[in-house]
Every structure is written in C-alpha cells, then in structure tokens.
Amino acid sequence: MRVLVTGGAGYIGSHTTLALLKEGHDVLVVDDLSNSSVESLHRVAELAGREAGFVEANVRDEAALDAAFADFTPEAVIHFAGWKAVGESTQIPLVYYRENLGSTITLLEVMAQHGCRSIVFSSSATVYGELSEPPFTEDAPTGATNPYGRTKHMIEQILADVAAADDQLRVAVLRYFNPIGADESGRIGEDPKGIPNNLLPFVAQVAAGRREKLMVFGDDYPTPDGTGTRDYIHVVDLAAGHLAALGHLQDHDGYHVWNLGTGQPSSVLDIVHAFEKASGVTIPYEVAPRRPGDVASSFADPKLAQTELGWRAELSVEQACADTHRWQAANPNGFADA
C-alpha cells in the first residue's frame, strides 16, 4: 500500500514507518519537525534498506498537504502528528486545540478531496481518565482531564461523526497506553526536547549520567508498592499494532476503536528495577509529592485487538528497558549527536 504518515519523524511515527517499509509498503512522511528530527528518517532508511518520501510541512498547511496527496496518491493515512505534553497543554491550550484539531480537520478534508478513505489515528488511554477502574475496555466511559486529552477525545468524536456521515470512510482509533522502548538496533528512539516529562526517557537520562536522580511522583497511591502503575508497551509492538489495524481496514469499513496495551500494570519502582537490571546501572531516586493530574493506575484490557486484529504485545518491559538503554547510551544527546 501507499501510506501517508503524518508525524512520521517522531518517536512512534519513525518506528511505524520502519515497520511499514520492512513490510514492503511505500511511505510518505509529512512532518514539520517541530518536535522531531529528519535524522530519524535517515536512520529508518538505513535500517529498512529503502527510504520513505518526506515532505516538511505542518499538517494544517492545506496547500502542502494537497500537493502531497496529488503526488503520492496514498491509499491510507496514519495520523500521528500532534502536540502531546499534558502539562504544557494546560499552559497553552489554544495551541493544542489549533494544532491537534486543525490538523485533523484539514487532513480529513484533503483525504476526501483525493478519495483517500482509510485513516488510523493515534489516540491515547488518557481518554479513560478516572471515569472507571482499569482494566479499561474500549466501551468504558471516556472524557478527559486536560486540554491535550480533550483534543484526543474530541478528535475521536470528529472521526466518529465523519465516519457516520460517509459510509466509504474507514477509521481505526488506536488508544495507546504508555509507549516505551526503541528499535533493538539502538539507531532510533525517543528523543524528547528539554527535560523529559515521561518516565522512561527520564530514567534513561539518569542512567546515562545526564540527570542526577529520578523524582518518583508519589508513593502513597493505592497500588502494591504505592507508586503509580501503568501499562508500558514496547514501541515495536505498538508499530505492529498499526500495521494490523491498517490490514483490518482493507476489508472492514466503519469506525473502530482498539486499545493497544499489554494488560499488565507495572509500577514506577518496577520500571526503575527493570531498567537497573537491563542496564547494570543503579538509578538514584527520591520520592516527591504526587504530580497533579496523575491517576493511580491505568492499564488496558487488550482482548479486543487480539480477537479482531490478531495482534498482541509480545515484548517485555525488560526488553524495552534494554532497548531504551542501548539507544540512550549510543546517542546521549539523541539525534543531535548525528
């Protein structure tokens, strides 16, 4: 297939682009490089032995998108591009609404103009909020507690409305739990700008000596060791989930939602210990107050994706920690080292 990938130079996008190329698909990446590096695509090409096309543009740039569709004639789109920091979204909410909603609306309009009818969308387990208890099934109540999460929730609703209005449209909404890890080559990985918000990149930078210690946000949650638990899923498994969803859309129309998670919760301290084992490095940490907005526990019921897509997470948290460490140790400053 010819697959247009928005945000394909980013963390999950680059791993999915690699998986698509390895499976023989043709890929065109559209990315404005606002939070990613084109070096990731050079390395994807090196790993795949063939390259994805690349257009440097914001997805809200209708003229650029129109030209890309006219030139590449994609049969499907995977839409990763978006702003994704929860804390930042509470400071600059309009940027989040403009970028995340605006890009999706422009993309759907340009897809319609060019007769492209299949889209896989990067949603988030954040839409489950605290409305029910994990494990979350796809029919659990949804909402959101911050502007970032609300953009994901609103985009899901926009996609459902557009799919209801157009019986040709095929939509897969993928609700990611906590993506971690890196390609086992150590050539591509997560490269956050500034101080990492997320646990794994922070731990990896502590192990690499770039940061002094981890702050563990709260040890008084109602969880086995008191620290928050999450469903950490290897990014290579996550990438495979996109290919499975794309395959499903080839012979199923309508609007579909699938969780991409392992179903297994791990605590912050579980991750610290797994990383220490994988890296052989001790991770100094200090317990700090809870981070505002955090939930105690979030993990998937992953059965629907198993049944309908024939997809399940295969790689362990230990494997993900080893892969993250390999990437971070070989690229202490991420793609800036290139």
Which residues are part of the catalytic machinery?
A: 148
Distance CA(321)–CA(313), nearest Å, equals: 15
Distance CA(331)–CA(189), nearest Å, equals: 9
H helix intervals, 73-198: 86-91, 93-96, 102-113, 147-165
Q: Which amino acid is at 214?
A: L
Window of 114-122, 182-190, 208-216, 327-335 that interacts with ligand UFG by CB under 6 A: 208-216
Are residues 108 and 118 in contact, defined by beta-carbon separation less than 8 angstroms? no
* 173 is a contact residue toward ligand UFG (CB under 6 A): no
What string of DSSP letters covers 9-56? Answer: TSHHHHHHHHHHHHTT-EEEEEE--SS--THHHHHHHHHHTS--EEEE
* 228 is a contact residue toward ligand UFG (CB under 6 A): yes
The residue among 178, 246, 264 whose CA lies nearest residue 16 is 246
Window of 158-166, 182-190, 195-203, 257-265 that interacts with ligand UFG by CB under 6 A: 195-203
**Radius of gyration (Cα) for the chain, nearest Å?**
19
Of 18, 55, 119, 125, the one binding ligand UFG (CB under 6 A) is 125
* 320 is a contact residue toward ligand UFG (CB under 6 A): no
List, in sequence order, every beta strand (DSSP E) within 218-278: 229-230, 232-234, 254-260, 266-267
Closest to ligand UFG by CB, 149 vs 189, is 149
Residues in the chain: 338
CA torsion 32-35-40-41 (nearest 10°) is: -10
Closest to ligand UFG by CB, 72 vs 299, is 299
* 294 is a contact residue toward ligand UFG (CB under 6 A): yes
> Which strands form 170-176's sheet, in the order they lie side by side?
53-56, 26-31, 2-6, 76-79, 118-124, 170-176, 254-260
CB of 24 to ligand UFG, least distance (A): 31
CB of 200 to ligand UFG, least distance (A): 7
Window of 21-29, 69-77, 97-105, 194-202 that interacts with ligand UFG by CB under 6 A: 194-202
Of 124, 259, 266, 319, the one binding ligand UFG (CB under 6 A) is 124
Closest to ligand UFG by CB, 202 vs 311, is 202
Of 90, 185, 198, 223, the one binding ligand UFG (CB under 6 A) is 198
CB of 7 to ligand UFG, least distance (A): 14
Window of 54-62, 215-223, 241-249, 310-318 that interacts with ligand UFG by CB under 6 A: 215-223
Distance CA(213)–CA(203), nearest Å, equals: 8
CB of 69 to ligand UFG, least distance (A): 28
Distance CA(302)–CA(295), nearest Å, equals: 19
* 302 is a contact residue toward ligand UFG (CB under 6 A): no
Straight-line distance from the first to the last Cα atom of the chain, in angstroms, rounded to the nearest whole number: 31
Of 298, 324, 328, 331, the one binding ligand UFG (CB under 6 A) is 298
Burial of 212 (0-12, 13-18, 19+ CB in 10 A): exposed
Closest to ligand UFG by CB, 118 vs 146, is 146
Of 79, 84, 234, 256, the one binding ligand UFG (CB under 6 A) is 84
Site map 249..288 versus ligand UFG, x via CB under 6 A: -------------------x--------------------
Of 15, 60, 79, 230, the one binding ligand UFG (CB under 6 A) is 230
* Residue 289: CB atoms within 10 Å: 10
Q: Give the footprint of ligand UFG on this chain (CB under 6 A).
A: 84, 86, 124-126, 149, 178, 197-199, 202, 214-217, 228, 230, 268, 291, 294, 298
